[in-house]
Structure 1
Amino acid sequence: MARFSETTRVTAHEIISRYPVAKSAVIPLCHLAQEQDGWLSEEAMTHIAELVDCTPAEVLGTASFYEMLKLEPVGRYLVNVCTQLPCMLLGADELLAHAEETLGVLPGQTTPDGLFTLEGVECVAACTEAPCLQLNYRYFHRVSPGDLDQLVSELRATGRTTVPTKSNDTNDIPHHGTLARVRQHIPAEGRAGNAPPDVNIEPPWLADPAAPASGATTSGGS
């Protein structure tokens, strides 16, 4: 899929309507494109640029800054093994090596069946629960090689896992691209609405320090 589908386009316009300036919707639209296709293609970035009236280069410049936005196809399940010091001290080296052996790929590669992409990542902010693993950005703490084998086996068979996760109570692991279990909904009264009117008042920090403040009296005043 190159551009937004009809259904996704409706959602895209709803997202854009939340912002006073359409270009502010670039990041959520990138997530929307990735939710549709699993990654962010050049065609999708071009479509986003058309929707928010900017250039594809501006969309690419934004998307390329964020690790969670993928500019190349990845597997249905993205396996991120934390490689920072606390996790390494508690076995992340061995866990990553075991993942390479179990999946038959190196970090940055995808299994031939297209199911799993393996990555070594920087800190996932759960150092007290090392070694940590993220599966489509759902957290798994204190992961053993046996836990990893169970995850891979169960996901291949059913798309679900019984391995405890800290971020998904149902044990369903949505396909890569779906970062939230429930799409964010903002009630009408909470949306940004129209841009605020311009106010032509000089900011106080630019005012002449020698000038008296508004309402102040001069030395000869009463």
Structure 2
Amino acid sequence: MTINFDEYKKKYPNTQRENLIHILQEIQDECGYLSEDAITWVSRYFNLPASKIYGLATFYNYFCFSPRGKYHIEICEGTSCQLKAARATIKEFEKVLKISNGQTTKNGMFSFQVVPCLGACGIAPVVKINNEYYSHVMPSQVNSIIEHYINIDENE
């Protein structure tokens, strides 16, 4: 995907640091991830080392540096989720999808990320797929959740 960086220059004509996160978010929203080219462009535009841009982006769970799957799975490992067997659910997702944390399936359908907290402690353990939350997810439910998305994809 080719990014039209001129559009970002027009939208954010000043290179004050308060615009840095906004530009990174918009680039990721447009492309699905922050590419090396995007990090380099932002670095040059803000006159900051690429390592600073990368360091900032890695601080936030929102940003990713490789393409996400069509269905991005986030599994919470916050305290409430950990107390209710989130680790076993994480391992089951890894087993079923045959990928590890931060990876995308070969067909590009699923990506998987363990996150510190999804802010839904009352429904722990919680899984978020794109913008849909699943509550009280146990390892025995993982196959049916994945099959649900496979069926959606086949019917499109």
Do both proteins adopt the same fold according to a TM-score greater than 0.5, normalized to the shorter chain?
A: yes
Segments of 5+ residues of structure 2 without an aligned counterpart are none
Q: Kindly state the Cα deviation for residue 53 of structure 1 after the two structures are TM-superposed.
A: 4.2
Q: Quick check: which has more Rg, 1 or 2?
A: 1
Listed as ranges, the gaps of 5+ residues in structure 1 are 160-222
Amino acid at match of 1:80: E
Please list the CA deviations of residues 106-156 of structure 1 after superposition, one character each: whole Å capped at 9, or x if unmatched: 323321212212222222222221111122364332224465434322323
**1:16 maps onto 2:12 in alignment:** yes
Instruction: State whether structure 2 residue 143 is matched by structure 1 residue 149.
Output: yes
Percent identity for Structure 1 against Structure 2: 25
Match of 1:104 in 2: 98
Contact 1:90 1:130 (C-alpha < 8 Å) held by counterparts = yes
Q: Pick from 78, 81, 102: which aligns with 2:75?
A: 81
User: 1:78·1:117 contact (CA, 8 Å) conserved in 2?
Assistant: yes
Candidates 28, 34, 45, aligned match of 1:34: 28
What's the Cα RMSD here?
2.7
Partner of 1:113: 107
Task: Tell me: CA distance 1:124–1:131, structure 2 relative to 1, closer, same or farther (3 Å).
Answer: same
Q: State the match for 1:140 in structure 2.
A: 134
**Aligned mates of 1:75, 1:57 — CA distance in 2:** 26
Amino acid paired to 2:64: K
Q: 1:50 and 1:4, CA in 2 relative to 1: closer, same or farther beyond 3 A? A: farther
Partner amino acid for 1:69?
Answer: F
C-alpha distance in 2 between matches for 1:151 and 1:28:
33
Contact 2:123 2:136 in 1 (8 A): yes
Structure-2 change in CA distance of 1:88 and 1:75 (3 Å): same
Moved over 4 A (4+): none
Q: Which has the higher helix share?
A: 2
Q: SS where residue 75 of structure 2 aligns?
A: strand
**CA contact 1:25–1:52 (8 Å) conserved in 2:** no
Q: Distance in 2 between matches of 1:129 and 1:144?
A: 12
Q: How many residues get paired?
A: 153
Give the Cα separation in 2 of the matches to 1:23 and 1:85. Answer: 33
Cα deviation, residue 71, structure 1:
2.3
The residue identity in structure 1 corresponding to 2:80 is P
1:91 to 2:85 alignment: yes
- The 1:62–1:106 alpha-carbon spacing in structure 2 relative to 1, beyond 3 Å, is closer
* Structure 1 residue 75 displacement after superposition: 2.4
TM, length-normalised to structure 1: 0.57
